[in-house]
Structure 1
Amino acid sequence: MISNSFKYAFEGRDGGTIIVHLNGNESDGLRMTIGDDGVGLKSREGFHRPNSLGMDLIHTLAGQLDADIHLLDGPGTRYELVSQKLSKRRVA
Structure 2
Amino acid sequence: MSKVRMKELHEIIDEVKDEKSFLDFAKALMKDREVHEGAPVDEVGFAGDWANNDISGFLESAIAWVEDSDFGVRQDAELKSNKWKQFAVFLYCGKIYE
* Greater fraction strand: 1
* Greater fraction helix: 2
Give TM-score scaled by structure 2 length. 0.26
Give TM-score scaled by structure 1 length. 0.27
